Amino acid sequence: MTHPPVSVVVPCKDVAPWAGECLESILAALPPDGEVIAVDDASSDGTPGILRSFAERDRRVRVLESPRRGVSAARNTGLDACSGEFVFFVDPDDAVEPDFFNALVSAAKAACADFVYCGYSDFVDGAAPVARALKGCYRFLDRRGILDGFVSRVIGYSFGDIRSWYAGRPLFSDREMASVCRGVYRRSLIGSLRFDESVELYEDAIFNAEYAIRCRSMASVDRPLYRVRNRQSGAMRTIGRDAARVSANKLKLLAARERIDASSGGSVRAMFAATCVLSLLEVASFAALGRIPRREAFAFVREYLSHECARAALAEFPLSFRKPVFSLCVLLLRIFAV
């Protein structure tokens, strides 16, 4: 039995206005023997009918269901079903350039790379896309290079990032938008790895970090081959407005980062140490602004600090007279933690 070289997983929920355009762009770029696995997460609009119509007209499209389980579960359903040597993820409100699949697979083969990442463009309806370059040249021939050069840009902030911020460098300047939609993955290396279904936001970063630490080599294509549609109803914005959900998600992210650190032999903890303290400060700000009850915020802080890595990060977090209010807030957290 032959297998398609490329599998594309598309998680879909209530995306009727955009799903057709997305699938058209995928099919136009996909090799003739590739496959698209569209996973419907109990959509309540016309999405299922659109997916079925594409499956009926193009044998490369399969439609599966993952009812009311979220985007990570939908992607996992697709991963369980795909059979390609190379795996891609595309979000149903985005689109890909005509050479997206070919360029990344060709780069993977040419460099014998386990992971290839590309640039992207973003746009709003009615406007031209704006190209976004990669934040680094991700060409590594060993695991250490991948950890230092890529994982460090997606898993969180280090104390070094904070010191650079104190010196005037924007905190986000070298962070990579860690979407799984900008990479190509080898199915054999993914193995049993799946998206963490408990994480609502930044699940892409967790998956990318967990996958990357399995890799022996990495390459990149610094061209905007993937197109991101910016819309107000996206999960990042809708969940991000709910302070209670954001706070709960931070605890899940901490557990996921600890898991990644353990699987890396303790190699990545320093890469997200500052994030532990920034998360505590953000939840404290939610309480100060009345976005969550103070009792709830105090309970979160206590639970977060029950993790040894968070306690250590708070104790060791660098302070600076250049950010006096910020440093005072960190000191107040230390007093609370005693």
Taking only the tens place, the pLDDT of each residue in 237-285 is 666 789 999 999 999 999 999 999 999 999 999 999 999 999 999 999 9
Residue-level pLDDT at 238: 64
- Best CA proximity match to 77, nearest among 68, 88, 65, 86: 65
Kindly state whether residue 18 falls inside one of the protein's structural domains. yes
Burial of 9 (0-12, 13-18, 19+ CB in 10 A): buried
The answer to whether 266 touches 258, Cβ cutoff 8 Å, is: no
- 166-187: per-residue pLDDT in tens? 999 999 888 998 999 999 999 9
139, part of any domain: no
In whole angstroms, give the CA distance from residue 224 to residue 117.
Answer: 11
Q: Using alpha carbons, select from 276, 275, 284 the residue that is nearest to residue 172.
A: 275
Strand partners, 120: 132, 226
Pairing state between β 86-89 and 6-12: parallel
- Residue 280 within a domain: yes
Over the stretch 135-153, which tens digit does the pLDDT of each residue have?
999 999 999 999 999 999 9
Q: Are residues 196 and 308 in the same domain?
A: no
> Are residues 44 and 118 located together in one domain of the fold?
yes
Question: Based on the domain organization, do 111 and 197 belong to the same domain?
Answer: yes
Domain boundary among 210, 237, 264: 237
| Structural domain ending residue among the three candidates 202, 217, 237 | 237
Band the pLDDT of 235: cuts 50, 70, 90.
low
Residue 149 lies in a domain: no
Evaluate the CA torsion angle 290, 198, 175, 298 in order and state its sign. Answer: positive
User: What's the pLDDT score for residue 234?
Assistant: 59
What pLDDT, on the 0 to 100 scale, is given for residue 7? 98
Same domain, 56 and 183: yes
Domain assignment present for residue 167? The answer is no
Contacts of 319 (CB under 8 A, 6+ apart): 327, 330, 331
Residue 321 CB contacts under 8 Å (≥ 6 apart), including other chains: 327
Q: Is residue 12 a contact partner of residue 40, using CB atoms and an 8 Å limit?
A: yes
Residues 60, 189 within the same domain: yes
Question: Which whole-number Å values give the CA distances from 19 to 5, 62, 109, 158, 219, in the listed order?
Answer: 23, 14, 30, 38, 30
| Cα 141 from Cα 193, distance rounded (Å) | 22
Whole-number Å distance between alpha carbons of 35 and 33: 7
Same domain as 316, residue 180: no
Q: Which of helix, strand or coil describes residue 131?
A: strand
Q: Considering the domain boundaries, does residue 143 fall inside one? A: no
| pLDDT tens-place string over residues 30-81 | 999 999 999 999 999 999 999 999 999 999 999 999 887 899 999 999 999 9
Residue for token digits 């990442």?
117
In 3D, which of 285, 253, 248 has the Cα closest to residue 272?
A: 253
Q: Answer yes or no: is 325 within a domain.
A: yes
In this predicted structure, what is the pLDDT of residue 165? 97
Q: What is the chain's length?
A: 338
Domain count, the chain: 2
Q: What is the pTM of this model?
A: 0.94
Last residue of a domain, one of 202, 218, 237: 237
Nearest alpha-carbon partner for 153 in 229, 212, 107, 219:
212
pLDDT at residue number 258: 97
Beta bridge partners of 88: 8
Residues 278, 301, single domain; the answer is yes
Q: How far apart are CA 102 and CA 25, in angstroms?
A: 13
**What is the domain extent for residue 259?**
238-333
Q: CATH no. for residue 191? A: 3.90.550.10
Q: Do 187 and 103 share a structural domain?
A: yes
Q: How far apart are CA 255 and CA 203, in angstroms?
A: 12
Report the largest interatomic distance among the alpha carbons of the chain, rounded to a whole angstrom.
Answer: 66
Provide mean pLDDT across the span 312-337: 95
- Judgement on whether residues 123 and 267 belong to the same structural domain of the protein: no
Q: Are residues 41 and 120 in the same domain?
A: yes
Q: Output the CA–CA distances (angstroms, integers) from residue 180 to 29, 90, 177, 261, in the order listed.
A: 18, 8, 9, 20
Backbone angles phi, psi at 317, to 5 degrees: -60, 130
Cα 36 from Cα 23, distance rounded (Å) = 9
Closest CA to 15 of 92, 70, 73: 92
H helix or E strand, kind and range, residue 122: strand 115-123
Same-domain pairing of 233 and 245: no
Q: Is residue 231 part of a domain?
A: yes
Q: Are residues 313 and 218 in the same domain?
A: no
